[in-house]
Structure 1
Amino acid sequence: MLDRTIAPDFGSIDIIKLIEPEHTTLPNGCEVYLFDSGDQELVRIEWIFGNLRFNPEKPLLNMAANTLLTEGTSALTSSQIADRIDYYGAFLQAEYGYDQSTVTLYSLTRHLGSTLPVIFDVLTDSQYPEKELDTFIRNQQQKLQVSLQKNDVLARRAFNKAVYGNTIYGQSGEAADYQQLNCTDLLDHFKQMYQPSNCTLVIAGKVKEDTLKQITDAFNGWTNYSQPANTTQPTVIPQTERLYFTDKPDALQSAIRMGLPMVNRAHPDFPALQVLNTVLGGYFGSRLMANIREDKGYTYGIGSGISSLKHGSAFFIATEVGADVCHSAIAEIEKEIKLLKTELISEEELSLVRNYMLGSLLGSLENVFSHADKFKNVYFSGLTYDYYTRYTEIIKHVTAEDLRALANQYWDFDSFYKVIVGKY
């Protein structure tokens, strides 16, 4: 009989084994990474494209070109594309990211012969119909109008612009920017961006012997554009101003977002900084949550994080607090950061954070798609699987002295970019 009054034995995590992909390069230059695992006859195919160089005069081109990718070709309307995919129980999605844009197909392997031609049509002949573009512009402007009423959205936009400057990371787009979008620019952008030499193909799932051949045959006519894709990006130059305050006299809550530029995943200090960040505000038991939520009751939630991007990175703290306690909340945030710079983290707290981080990493590897996602994290950062070995070793062995030194090296509260929207 199980005695539920006795806690189960604690077990440490020693090795986290990741599935490594097979790799090949197609004749047209497309890099292919294949993860074969699982029992279900299901495959996820991702066509991942590097975003073209950011143009401040047309800041929404990368986002709009990918979002509208499935809205019509010469042969198929948007509804016909959707119907053909749905008929076979498949799922098609176009996702925009700061560094890459992705077209993802989930399909049963036995239906690839029917679904892949639709994707080929989308990636080689998207037309960006003017009617669909007009609808997109109208809907996005309406969404933007609603979003700009939210303090946390305003704070995030202002913080990104301050930290990342006039780059693809820092520009969020205004209503007038949507009005600048036109079919000619989108088609030119499409031709340069969606070509095989600018594509990484990641295939994951129950991959049959002929799956890669099916994909290769289906995309046999996919050729490169006359001009190579220019995926270089402008240098990130943060703004000089450090404090940004938007006064809203009637606000019940104030949105706070603060932080500063930080090293990204490719830097040797990144894993240990993730441990330090987790202690401060990276999980529900963090110091910021314990102080500002549990003890002071200033907010429902507060957290911190490190956004690792290809051409930049930032450490940030974000929360919304009662407008009458905004000043006090900022003072408590500063206090918690100073404590990490002056006092050593106890071994009990550090052990808890270590177990949380390793458990989260292990728990995130629930299926073959998760393993493919972990691969993408390192591949697009210019790293190898050695990163995860080093990451887990640093989590297990980083000391309180190491973390205090990092806090002093990277966190200068007076240099933080501080954004407040509401009352202060």
Structure 2
Amino acid sequence: MSAPTKHRSADEIGRTELGPRPFPELGEQRAAADLDAIDTTLANGLRVLAVRRDSVPLVEVRLRIPFGDPATSSVGSTHAARAEVLANTVLTGTATRSRVDVDTELALVGGELDAVVDPERLSFSGNALVSGFETVLDVLRDVLTGATYPADEVERERARLVERIRLARSQPNVIAREALQRHLYGDHPFAKEMPEADEVEAVTRDDVLALHSSAVLPRGSAIVVVGDVAPDAAVRAVEAALGGWTGEGTAVALSPLSPVRGGDVLFVHRPGAVQSQIRLAGRGLERTDERYPALQLANLVFGGFFSSRLVENIREDKGYTYSARSHPEFTPGGATLLVDADTASEVTVAALLETRYELGRLGLVPPTESEVDTARRYAIGSLLTATSSQGGLASFLVNLAGLGLDVGWFTGHPARLAAVTVEQVAEVALEFFAPTSFTGVLVGDAELLTPQLRALGGVTLP
């Protein structure tokens, strides 16, 4: 019998008689080559962006319809409630297809189709085998031009939505997000990401039908097709299916938001909370700004990935939080830098102090060449990874379309990141990451945190 194999530890595997085994060099990050694409607009005003990617015999479809509240203020508006019910019931039946028919037809071609809504847009996301591409488009056409919103489906989905809203409003992250949006944007419709349960309960089938007729419009909307289909053939298929989708006016885009201005953090009392939510926000840059690539790298160095300064400080070194991050959010007409951290109540104030410290340090102790190079590799690598699949590329491109950008921005962005200098990163770090440039909210138990927060300052207490 042979002797049992001795398993080596990770440390043993990583070493040789001459010392630690050297890490292999990172491979070259290849930017996306010029994509075979067509970007055009149909006679009905629908923008069509079709990209050939033949890695697998599938096709991905993304439709973005601007779906803003036409009211200048969200006070008293029921648009968010009606929009949520619409998104949850738009696929439940047409004059020629029941809900079961829709699901069955899509399943037979290996496909699916979903709808979601937020304050900015109504989005349809679908996919299928290439042989089922026209089926997906035909179902989408039927839904866009003839959704009937059966009364029993509206009643059922409305009840489910009410329960989900009530449950969500008990979650700390939702409480923090809603408080932050109100603090930053007041009564702007963008701040109302979730309607009230009683508003949803009051929505009728007639309300949804009226909203569909007035707001589900092709002009101003964009559809992205990515898959194993020639772009010209994809455009012809979209035109054949959706060219007859019409409507008066243009889909409603939200009005631009005012830039975020720094100020005190608003404390939101949550009695008995054993954890706190820190949510900070500052002004960011749009993707079209020439300084955006430098700001993207500065954000990564600060808190945008696991090896960032903020994560190393309050997670790895001090153990104040399991999860901390900073990230951009692109808003109507602008952008915001967000910093998130959830902490135990007893270390909340210390975590806020260290977060402010790292914000200031980014400008006063600028990122090193090594930090910038690591962030650059991560930025390019994560972009290419996220868009390596057909679905990932389709989702990324439809977001770009919503900003008025095209495939060229995507293919050119790795080169823009590669051209950023350490000095440019230092400049935007000093300008955008100053602690005084941020405001935000802190959700927690006031009885536990008020004495320490009063001593720290910069927090509006209840």
TM-score, L = length of structure 2: 0.82
CA contact (8 A) 2:268 2:442 kept: yes
Partner residue in 2 for 1:234 = 255
Displacement of 1:265 after TM fit? 1.8
Aligned to 1:392: 414
Out of 19-28 and 310-319, give the one that drifted further. 19-28
* Structure 2 residue matching 1:382: 3-state secondary structure: coil
2:164 paired with 1:143: yes
- Classify 1:68/1:287 alpha carbon distance in 2 versus 1 (closer, same or farther; 3 Å): same
- Do the aligned partners of residues 322 and 85 (structure 1) sit closer, same or farther apart at CA in structure 2, a change above 3 Å counting? same
| Structure 2 counterparts to residues 24-423 of structure 1, below 5 A | 24-55=40-71, 56=74, 57-60=77-80, 61-112=82-133, 114-172=135-193, 173-207=195-229, 212-219=235-242, 222-225=244-247, 227-237=248-258, 242-388=264-410, 391-423=413-445
Q: Matches of 1:336 and 1:393 in 2, distance apart? A: 29
What letter corresponds to residue 350 of structure 1 in structure 2?
A: V
Unaligned runs of 5+ in 1: none
User: What do you get for the CA RMSD once the two structures are aligned?
Assistant: 2.7
- What corresponds to 2:455 in structure 1? none
Distance 1:408 1:90, change over 3 A: same
State the alpha-carbon separation in 1 of the partners of residues 381 and 313 from structure 2.
24
Change (3 A) 1:232 1:30: closer
Counterpart code for 1:58 = T
Q: Deviations over 1:261-303 (max 9, x none)?
A: 4332222222211111101110011111111011111111100
Residue ranges of structure 2 left out of the alignment (5+ in a row):
1-14, 450-462
- Name the SS for the 1:143 alignment partner: helix
Cα distance in 2 for partners of 1:188, 1:289 equals 48
Corresponding residue of 1:10: 26
3-state SS of paired residue (1:402): helix
Aligned-pair identity in percent equals: 24
Do the aligned partners of residues 179 and 392 (structure 1) sit closer, same or farther apart at CA in structure 2, a change above 3 Å counting? same
Structure 2 distance, partners of 1:97, 1:294, is 35
| CA spacing shift, 1:385–1:349, aligned 2, 3 Å | same
- The one-letter code matched in structure 1 to 2:365 is E
Letter matched to residue 202 of structure 1: V
User: Within 2, Cα distance between the matches of 1:109 and 1:59?
Assistant: 37
Change (3 A) 1:336 1:115: closer
Residues 36 and 396 of structure 1: is their aligned pair in 2 closer, same or farther, counting only changes over 3 Å?
A: closer
Contact 1:152 1:256 (C-alpha < 8 Å) held by counterparts: no
Instruction: Tell me the amino acid that sits aligned with residue 185 of structure 1.
Output: D
Change (3 A) 1:141 1:26: same
User: Looking at CA atoms only, which structure, 1 or 2, has the larger radius of gyration?
Assistant: 2
Offset at 1:49? 1.4
**In structure 1, the residue corresponding to 2:104 is in which secondary structure?**
helix
Structure 1 counterpart of 2:78, which letter? Answer: K
d(CA) in 2 for partners of 1:24, 1:385: 12
Contact 1:275 1:353 in 2 (8 A): yes
Task: Look up the equivalent residue of 1:231 and give its one-letter code.
Answer: V
- Return the letter of the residue paired with 2:440: K
Query: Could you tell me whether the CA contact under 8 Å between 1:254 and 1:322 is conserved in 2?
Result: yes
Residue identity in the other structure for 1:330: L
- TM-score scaled to structure 1, two decimals? 0.89
* 1:153 Cα deviation from its structure 2 partner: 1.5
